[in-house]
A and B are shown apart, each in its own frame.
Chain A
C-alpha cells in the first residue's frame, strides 16, 4: 500500500516537473521572439542645420501635408500619406528633393541641398 502511494507521488512529481519545464520552454520561446527580433524603427526626423524640426512615428502618423518656410522666401512642402513621407513640393532651383520620392531606406535620406533640409530615419 505504502509502495503504491510512493509510486503515485513520484508520478505526480514527474508530471509537475514536465509541466514546469514545458511552461519555462514556452515562456522562453515567446520572450525570445520578442527580445531577439531585430528592431524595426520607423521614427523619421526632419532636420535643418543640426536642428530637429519634426519627428514622426510613421506607424502612427496621420496623413497630412505641411509647408516649412524659410527666411529667404524658399520652402519645402512635406507630405505624409499611408505611412510614407516625401517632399511634395519645393521652392528651390533643382527640386531634386521632390524627385527623390518617398523615404525608403535608412541609408538613403531625402536631402534638399539649397534649403539644408534632411528627412531620414532616426538612429
Chain B
C-alpha cells in the first residue's frame, strides 16, 4: 500500500513539475501560428528572446514587408552588379537554399515566386494562369542565377546579386531556419526541453522533462482533422509539406496546390500528397520536404539512399504510406494504412 502511495506521490510530483515549469507562447508570424513550449526556470525569459528573434527574422525574410532584405533584393532588378548588402541571416539562409537547390537538382528553387504569385498563392486570389504566361515567367526561374557575391564581412553582412526580372521567396526554408535559430537561443540559455511548432513544422530540444520522447502527430492528408500516426522523437525536426496545406479547386473541377514544380511552373504532381522529413537540421528538413514532394516517390527514394542525415515518410495519392527504416521503431501508425518500409540499402 505504502509502495503504491509512493508511486502515486511520485507521479503527482512529476506532473506538478511537468506543468509548473512549462512556459508557452503563441505568435503569429511568417503567415502562420508559432506555438512555443519551453520547460525550465529560464522559460519565461527564453520565450521573450525567441519572440524578439522571430520578429527580427520576419523583418528580414518577408517577401512583402517594405525594407526586408528579400524585398530589397527583388526590387533591385539586377541594377547593382556588385550585389545588394544583406544581413548575416539572409545571406546564410540564401546560401543554404541555393545549396539545397543544387543538391536536389533544382527540385527546390527559390526563384519561383513570380509564378507562385501568378497562381494567386501569395494573395489568396487563386486563378489558373494562361499557359503562355507561365512559360514567359518560367524563363526567369533559375536559382543558379542568384549569386552570393561576397563572403560575410566582419560586420555580419554579405552581398547578393539577383538579376533583372528574377524574384526570390525563402518561404520553403524560412521556418526551418527560424526554428534552428530559436533552438540556438534556448541551448545558450541552458534550456534542455522544448517543443516548437512553427505552423506545423515541429522542432524539439531534448526530450520531455520526464525523459520520454516527444510525441508528434503527423497529419492525415486525406482528413486534416485526424492523425496519420505519431512519431516519437528526441532532439529532432519533423517537417511536412503536403498538397492539402494550401490549394484551390479550379473552374475545371481540378485541385491546384501551392507546391510548384520548377520544371514547368505547375503544381508538382508526381504521385505524392504529403512528405514528412525527420532530421537534425530544421532548415534542411524544411527545404527537403518541398524538394522531395516535387521529385515524387521514386526520385525521393533514390535521393534518400544517397544521403545519411534524414528519414522520411511519404503518402501517395493512392493512399499508400512509405516510411524509411530509421522510423520503424518510432512511428505508431494511426489507422489501417498499407505501410511499406524503405530501406537505405536497396533490397
**Residue in contact with A107 in the complex, picked from B24, B217, B225, CB distance below 8 Å:** B217
Alpha-carbon distance A48/B8, docked complex (angstroms): 36
CB distance from B66 to the nearest CB of A (A): 21
* Distance of A7 Cα from B60 Cα, bound (Å): 91
Q: Which B114-166 residues have a C-beta within 8 angstroms of A?
A: 124
* Cβ of B224 under 8 Å from chain A: yes
Residues of B214-250 contacting chain A, CB below 8 A? 215-217, 219, 223-227, 246
Output the least CB separation between A7 and chain B (Å). 31
Interface presence of A61 (CB below 8 A): no
Contacts of B227 in A (CB 8 A): 104-105, 107-108
Within 8 A of B (CB), among A77-123: 86, 93-94, 99-111, 113, 116, 118, 123
Choose among A35, A36, A107 the residue with the greatest number of B CB atoms under 10 Å from its CB.
Answer: A107
Q: Is B31 an interface residue (CB 8 A)?
A: yes
Contact, CB under 8 Å: B32 / A50:
no
Nearest chain B CB to A28's CB is how many angstroms away?
A: 5
**A118 and B124 in contact, given A35-B11, A104-B227, A123-B22 (Cβ under 8 angstroms):** no
Point out the residues of chain B lying under 8 angstroms from A47, CB to CB.
26
> Which residue of chain B has the shortest Cβ distance to A107 in the bound complex?
B217
**B341 interfacial by beta-carbon distance below 8 Å:** no
Query: What count of chain B residues pass the 8 Å CB interface test?
Result: 26
Q: Within 8 Å of chain B (Cβ to Cβ): is A32? A: yes
Q: Which residue of A lies closest to B32 (CB)?
A: A113
> Is A116 a contact partner of B225 (Cβ separation < 8 A)?
no
Q: Which of B8, B28, B31, B225 has the most CB of A within 10 A?
A: B225
The closest CB in chain A to the CB of B22 belongs to A123
A48 CB, nearest partner CB in chain B, Å: 10
- Is B32 in contact with A27, judged by CB distance below 8 angstroms? no
A24 at the interface (CB under 8 A from B): yes
Question: Cβ of A105: which chain B residues have Cβ within 8 Å of it?
Answer: 217, 225-227
Contacts A35-B11, A107-B216, A113-B31 given; indicate if A101 touches B224 (C-beta within 8 A).
yes
B33 within 8 A of A: yes
A103 with B33: CB separation less than 8 A: no
Q: A113-B28, A113-B33, A123-B22 in contact; A36/B224 too (CB < 8 A)?
A: no
Query: What are some 29 contacts across the A-B interface (CB < 8 A)?
Result: A24-B1, A32-B4, A35-B4, A35-B7, A35-B11, A36-B11, A47-B26, A49-B26, A86-B225, A94-B124, A94-B246, A99-B224, A100-B225, A101-B224, A101-B225, A103-B225, A104-B225, A104-B226, A104-B227, A106-B217, A107-B197, A107-B216, A109-B35, A113-B31, A113-B33, A116-B28, A118-B26, A118-B33, A123-B22
Closest 5 CB pairs of A and B: A101-B225, A107-B217, A104-B225, A35-B8, A93-B124
